[in-house]
Amino acid sequence: MPSLKEVQSKIIGVQKTKKITRAMNMVASSKMRGAQMAMEAFRPYADKFAEVLGSLAEKAGGEDVSPLLVPREDVKKVNLILCTSDRGLCGGFNNKLIEKAKNFVAEKSGADVEISFTNFGKKGLKWAQKQKRPIWSEYLDVVGSRIPFDIAMQAGRKLIDSFLKAECDEVYIIYSEFGGMSRQIPILQKLLPIPPVETDATEAVSTEEFLYQAEHICEPSADELMGEMLPRNVYIQIFKALLETSTSEHAARMAAMDNATKACNDMIDALTLTYNKARQAAITAELMDIVGGAEALRG
Protein backbone atom coordinates (compact mmCIF):
# COMPACT_ATOMS: atom_id res chain seq x y z
CA MET A 1 0.00 0.00 0.00
CA PRO A 2 1.39 3.46 -0.89
CA SER A 3 2.34 5.85 1.88
CA LEU A 4 0.08 8.65 3.06
CA LYS A 5 2.37 11.28 1.58
CA GLU A 6 2.36 9.64 -1.87
CA VAL A 7 -1.44 9.38 -1.96
CA GLN A 8 -1.83 12.97 -0.75
CA SER A 9 0.55 14.19 -3.48
CA LYS A 10 -1.50 12.34 -6.11
CA ILE A 11 -4.73 13.89 -4.83
CA ILE A 12 -3.23 17.40 -5.00
CA GLY A 13 -1.96 16.71 -8.55
CA VAL A 14 -5.38 15.49 -9.75
CA GLN A 15 -7.08 18.51 -8.15
CA LYS A 16 -4.76 20.82 -10.10
CA THR A 17 -5.53 18.93 -13.30
CA LYS A 18 -9.24 19.28 -12.57
CA LYS A 19 -8.88 23.05 -12.30
CA ILE A 20 -7.15 23.12 -15.70
CA THR A 21 -9.79 20.97 -17.42
CA ARG A 22 -12.61 23.08 -15.95
CA ALA A 23 -10.93 26.28 -17.15
CA MET A 24 -10.41 24.82 -20.64
CA ASN A 25 -14.06 23.77 -20.72
CA MET A 26 -15.15 27.32 -19.92
CA VAL A 27 -12.82 28.80 -22.56
CA ALA A 28 -14.09 26.34 -25.19
CA SER A 29 -17.68 27.17 -24.22
CA SER A 30 -17.05 30.89 -24.69
CA LYS A 31 -15.34 30.40 -28.05
CA MET A 32 -18.02 28.00 -29.24
CA ARG A 33 -20.79 30.54 -28.66
CA GLY A 34 -19.02 33.04 -30.91
CA ALA A 35 -18.26 30.43 -33.58
CA GLN A 36 -21.82 29.10 -33.49
CA MET A 37 -23.28 32.58 -33.89
CA ALA A 38 -21.06 33.22 -36.94
CA MET A 39 -21.96 29.85 -38.43
CA GLU A 40 -25.71 30.28 -37.91
CA ALA A 41 -25.57 33.82 -39.31
CA PHE A 42 -23.82 32.60 -42.47
CA ARG A 43 -26.04 29.59 -43.16
CA PRO A 44 -29.04 31.62 -44.49
CA TYR A 45 -26.71 33.51 -46.85
CA ALA A 46 -25.21 30.28 -48.17
CA ASP A 47 -28.67 28.73 -48.61
CA LYS A 48 -30.03 31.81 -50.44
CA PHE A 49 -26.93 31.94 -52.63
CA ALA A 50 -27.47 28.31 -53.60
CA GLU A 51 -31.15 29.07 -54.34
CA VAL A 52 -30.28 31.99 -56.64
CA LEU A 53 -27.54 29.95 -58.30
CA GLY A 54 -30.00 27.14 -58.96
CA SER A 55 -32.51 29.57 -60.45
CA LEU A 56 -29.84 31.03 -62.76
CA ALA A 57 -28.64 27.57 -63.75
CA GLU A 58 -32.10 26.79 -65.16
CA LYS A 59 -31.87 29.87 -67.44
CA ALA A 60 -28.19 29.62 -68.37
CA GLY A 61 -26.69 27.59 -71.16
CA GLY A 62 -25.43 24.62 -69.13
CA GLU A 63 -21.78 23.58 -69.08
CA ASP A 64 -20.89 26.06 -71.85
CA VAL A 65 -21.29 28.93 -69.37
CA SER A 66 -18.08 28.24 -67.44
CA PRO A 67 -15.22 25.72 -67.56
CA LEU A 68 -15.72 25.30 -63.82
CA LEU A 69 -18.80 23.20 -64.62
CA VAL A 70 -17.14 20.85 -67.11
CA PRO A 71 -15.97 17.50 -65.65
CA ARG A 72 -12.69 16.06 -66.94
CA GLU A 73 -12.87 12.87 -68.96
CA ASP A 74 -9.66 11.45 -67.47
CA VAL A 75 -9.14 12.30 -63.80
CA LYS A 76 -5.46 11.91 -62.89
CA LYS A 77 -4.83 14.70 -60.36
CA VAL A 78 -6.98 15.40 -57.30
CA ASN A 79 -6.53 18.04 -54.61
CA LEU A 80 -8.01 17.39 -51.19
CA ILE A 81 -8.76 20.24 -48.77
CA LEU A 82 -8.50 18.82 -45.26
CA CYS A 83 -9.94 20.94 -42.43
CA THR A 84 -8.78 19.99 -38.92
CA SER A 85 -7.87 21.81 -35.72
CA ASP A 86 -4.52 23.31 -34.79
CA ARG A 87 -4.64 22.02 -31.22
CA GLY A 88 -5.56 18.73 -29.59
CA LEU A 89 -7.49 17.91 -26.41
CA CYS A 90 -10.74 17.59 -28.36
CA GLY A 91 -11.35 13.85 -28.17
CA GLY A 92 -11.63 11.96 -31.43
CA PHE A 93 -12.52 15.06 -33.46
CA ASN A 94 -9.38 15.08 -35.63
CA ASN A 95 -9.16 11.30 -35.82
CA LYS A 96 -12.59 11.11 -37.49
CA LEU A 97 -11.60 13.68 -40.13
CA ILE A 98 -8.24 12.01 -40.79
CA GLU A 99 -9.95 8.60 -41.04
CA LYS A 100 -12.29 10.07 -43.66
CA ALA A 101 -9.25 11.38 -45.55
CA LYS A 102 -7.51 7.99 -45.29
CA ASN A 103 -10.49 6.23 -46.85
CA PHE A 104 -10.66 8.82 -49.64
CA VAL A 105 -6.92 8.53 -50.38
CA ALA A 106 -7.12 4.73 -50.41
CA GLU A 107 -10.07 4.82 -52.82
CA LYS A 108 -8.47 7.30 -55.21
CA SER A 109 -4.99 5.77 -55.03
CA GLY A 110 -6.42 2.50 -56.23
CA ALA A 111 -7.42 4.25 -59.45
CA ASP A 112 -3.84 5.53 -60.08
CA VAL A 113 -4.72 9.11 -59.16
CA GLU A 114 -2.12 11.58 -57.90
CA ILE A 115 -3.40 13.25 -54.73
CA SER A 116 -2.21 16.57 -53.31
CA PHE A 117 -3.33 18.39 -50.17
CA THR A 118 -4.50 21.83 -49.09
CA ASN A 119 -4.45 21.88 -45.29
CA PHE A 120 -6.32 23.99 -42.77
CA GLY A 121 -4.99 23.10 -39.31
CA LYS A 122 -1.78 21.59 -37.92
CA LYS A 123 -3.22 18.17 -37.12
CA GLY A 124 -4.22 17.47 -40.70
CA LEU A 125 -0.95 18.96 -41.97
CA LYS A 126 1.15 16.60 -39.84
CA TRP A 127 -0.80 13.62 -41.14
CA ALA A 128 -0.51 14.80 -44.77
CA GLN A 129 3.25 15.26 -44.39
CA LYS A 130 3.56 11.63 -43.29
CA GLN A 131 1.79 10.56 -46.48
CA LYS A 132 4.69 12.03 -48.49
CA ARG A 133 2.33 13.61 -51.01
CA PRO A 134 2.46 17.16 -52.44
CA ILE A 135 1.12 19.88 -50.14
CA TRP A 136 -0.03 22.88 -52.17
CA SER A 137 -1.00 25.23 -49.37
CA GLU A 138 -1.17 25.27 -45.59
CA TYR A 139 -3.26 27.64 -43.49
CA LEU A 140 -2.48 27.44 -39.78
CA ASP A 141 -4.16 29.09 -36.78
CA VAL A 142 -7.30 29.72 -38.85
CA VAL A 143 -9.77 27.08 -37.64
CA GLY A 144 -10.79 27.69 -34.05
CA SER A 145 -10.42 31.46 -34.19
CA ARG A 146 -12.32 34.28 -35.90
CA ILE A 147 -12.14 33.23 -39.55
CA PRO A 148 -11.81 35.99 -42.19
CA PHE A 149 -13.55 35.45 -45.51
CA ASP A 150 -10.31 36.52 -47.26
CA ILE A 151 -8.71 33.20 -46.27
CA ALA A 152 -11.45 31.27 -48.10
CA MET A 153 -11.10 33.56 -51.13
CA GLN A 154 -7.33 33.14 -51.19
CA ALA A 155 -7.55 29.35 -51.05
CA GLY A 156 -10.43 29.27 -53.55
CA ARG A 157 -8.66 31.46 -56.12
CA LYS A 158 -5.54 29.28 -56.01
CA LEU A 159 -7.58 26.11 -56.50
CA ILE A 160 -9.66 27.61 -59.32
CA ASP A 161 -6.51 28.80 -61.12
CA SER A 162 -4.98 25.34 -60.75
CA PHE A 163 -8.14 23.72 -62.07
CA LEU A 164 -8.30 26.03 -65.10
CA LYS A 165 -4.60 25.38 -65.84
CA ALA A 166 -5.27 21.62 -65.67
CA GLU A 167 -2.90 21.24 -62.72
CA CYS A 168 -5.69 19.33 -60.98
CA ASP A 169 -8.78 17.63 -62.38
CA GLU A 170 -10.94 17.54 -59.26
CA VAL A 171 -11.03 19.29 -55.88
CA TYR A 172 -12.67 17.84 -52.76
CA ILE A 173 -13.03 19.14 -49.22
CA ILE A 174 -13.31 17.22 -45.94
CA TYR A 175 -14.72 19.12 -42.96
CA SER A 176 -16.78 18.53 -39.83
CA GLU A 177 -20.44 19.49 -39.95
CA PHE A 178 -21.85 20.76 -36.66
CA GLY A 179 -24.85 18.61 -35.80
CA GLY A 180 -25.08 19.49 -32.10
CA MET A 181 -23.02 19.50 -28.95
CA SER A 182 -22.41 15.75 -29.09
CA ARG A 183 -22.57 15.22 -32.86
CA GLN A 184 -19.86 16.30 -35.29
CA ILE A 185 -20.16 14.66 -38.71
CA PRO A 186 -17.18 14.28 -41.11
CA ILE A 187 -18.30 15.42 -44.58
CA LEU A 188 -16.68 14.79 -47.97
CA GLN A 189 -17.83 17.32 -50.59
CA LYS A 190 -16.82 17.90 -54.18
CA LEU A 191 -15.90 21.51 -55.02
CA LEU A 192 -14.48 21.37 -58.56
CA PRO A 193 -15.80 20.85 -61.12
CA ILE A 194 -18.84 22.46 -59.51
CA PRO A 195 -21.58 19.81 -59.28
CA PRO A 196 -25.02 20.73 -60.64
CA VAL A 197 -27.24 22.55 -58.17
CA GLU A 198 -29.97 20.21 -57.01
CA THR A 199 -33.51 21.58 -56.97
CA ASP A 200 -36.46 19.75 -55.49
CA ALA A 201 -38.87 19.93 -58.41
CA THR A 202 -41.19 17.31 -56.89
CA GLU A 203 -41.90 19.29 -53.74
CA ALA A 204 -45.58 20.02 -53.35
CA VAL A 205 -46.37 23.74 -53.51
CA SER A 206 -49.77 25.23 -52.72
CA THR A 207 -51.53 27.57 -55.16
CA GLU A 208 -50.97 30.58 -52.90
CA GLU A 209 -47.25 29.78 -52.48
CA PHE A 210 -46.91 29.31 -56.26
CA LEU A 211 -48.40 32.73 -56.99
CA TYR A 212 -45.93 34.45 -54.67
CA GLN A 213 -42.82 32.54 -55.73
CA ALA A 214 -40.20 35.04 -56.86
CA GLU A 215 -38.59 34.71 -60.28
CA HIS A 216 -35.13 36.23 -60.38
CA ILE A 217 -34.79 38.89 -63.06
CA CYS A 218 -31.27 38.78 -64.49
CA GLU A 219 -29.39 41.92 -65.42
CA PRO A 220 -26.97 41.28 -67.12
CA SER A 221 -27.77 37.88 -68.64
CA ALA A 222 -27.91 34.63 -66.67
CA ASP A 223 -24.79 33.36 -68.43
CA GLU A 224 -22.74 36.42 -67.40
CA LEU A 225 -23.99 36.24 -63.83
CA MET A 226 -23.17 32.54 -63.62
CA GLY A 227 -19.62 33.29 -64.72
CA GLU A 228 -19.29 35.73 -61.81
CA MET A 229 -21.13 33.67 -59.20
CA LEU A 230 -19.54 30.26 -59.77
CA PRO A 231 -16.11 31.22 -58.38
CA ARG A 232 -17.81 32.93 -55.42
CA ASN A 233 -19.72 29.72 -54.80
CA VAL A 234 -16.37 27.94 -54.27
CA TYR A 235 -15.30 30.62 -51.77
CA ILE A 236 -18.62 30.32 -49.92
CA GLN A 237 -18.37 26.52 -49.69
CA ILE A 238 -14.83 26.73 -48.26
CA PHE A 239 -15.82 29.46 -45.79
CA LYS A 240 -18.89 27.52 -44.69
CA ALA A 241 -16.74 24.40 -44.14
CA LEU A 242 -14.31 26.39 -41.98
CA LEU A 243 -17.12 27.84 -39.86
CA GLU A 244 -18.68 24.40 -39.38
CA THR A 245 -15.32 22.84 -38.48
CA SER A 246 -14.49 25.63 -36.01
CA THR A 247 -17.81 25.24 -34.19
CA SER A 248 -17.45 21.45 -34.16
CA GLU A 249 -13.93 21.71 -32.73
CA HIS A 250 -15.03 23.83 -29.78
CA ALA A 251 -18.00 21.55 -29.11
CA ALA A 252 -15.74 18.48 -29.17
CA ARG A 253 -13.24 20.16 -26.84
CA MET A 254 -16.03 21.10 -24.42
CA ALA A 255 -17.20 17.49 -24.31
CA ALA A 256 -13.63 16.17 -23.91
CA MET A 257 -12.83 18.58 -21.07
CA ASP A 258 -16.14 17.81 -19.36
CA ASN A 259 -15.34 14.08 -19.49
CA ALA A 260 -11.82 14.80 -18.20
CA THR A 261 -13.23 16.77 -15.27
CA LYS A 262 -15.58 13.91 -14.39
CA ALA A 263 -12.66 11.47 -14.61
CA CYS A 264 -10.70 13.70 -12.21
CA ASN A 265 -13.58 13.61 -9.75
CA ASP A 266 -13.65 9.81 -9.93
CA MET A 267 -9.88 9.64 -9.41
CA ILE A 268 -10.07 11.98 -6.43
CA ASP A 269 -12.80 9.83 -4.85
CA ALA A 270 -10.76 6.66 -5.40
CA LEU A 271 -7.55 8.25 -4.08
CA THR A 272 -9.38 9.68 -1.06
CA LEU A 273 -10.66 6.19 -0.26
CA THR A 274 -7.13 4.81 -0.60
CA TYR A 275 -5.80 7.62 1.61
CA ASN A 276 -8.37 6.88 4.30
CA LYS A 277 -7.53 3.18 4.19
CA ALA A 278 -3.80 3.89 4.44
CA ARG A 279 -4.39 6.33 7.29
CA GLN A 280 -6.56 3.81 9.12
CA ALA A 281 -3.91 1.12 8.63
CA ALA A 282 -1.23 3.46 9.99
CA ILE A 283 -3.37 4.30 13.04
CA THR A 284 -4.07 0.61 13.65
CA ALA A 285 -0.34 -0.18 13.41
CA GLU A 286 0.48 2.55 15.91
CA LEU A 287 -2.19 1.26 18.32
CA MET A 288 -0.80 -2.25 17.99
CA ASP A 289 2.68 -0.94 18.81
CA ILE A 290 1.35 0.91 21.88
CA VAL A 291 -0.62 -2.10 23.12
CA GLY A 292 2.35 -4.39 22.48
CA GLY A 293 4.67 -2.04 24.40
CA ALA A 294 2.24 -1.81 27.31
CA GLU A 295 1.93 -5.61 27.49
CA ALA A 296 5.71 -5.93 27.41
CA LEU A 297 6.06 -3.51 30.34
CA ARG A 298 3.49 -5.45 32.34
CA GLY A 299 5.28 -8.73 31.71
User: Which residues belong to the active site?
Assistant: 90
Q: Cα 17 vs. chain centroid, distance in angstroms?
A: 26
| Closest residue by Cα to residue 146 from 35, 270, 262 | 35
Q: 238-256 burial by CB neighbour count: b if 16+ within 10 A, else e?
A: bbbbbbbbbbbbbbbbbbb
Distance separating alpha carbons of residues 17 and 298, to the nearest angstrom: 53
Backbone angles phi, psi at 80, to 5 degrees: -115, 120
Q: How far apart are CA 137 and CA 142, in angstroms?
A: 13
Distance CA 51, CA 49 (A): 5
* 207-to-171, 211, 215 alpha-carbon distances in Å: 41, 6, 16
Q: Are 68 and 77 in contact (CB under 8 A)?
A: no
Contacts of 203 (CB under 8 A, 6+ apart): none
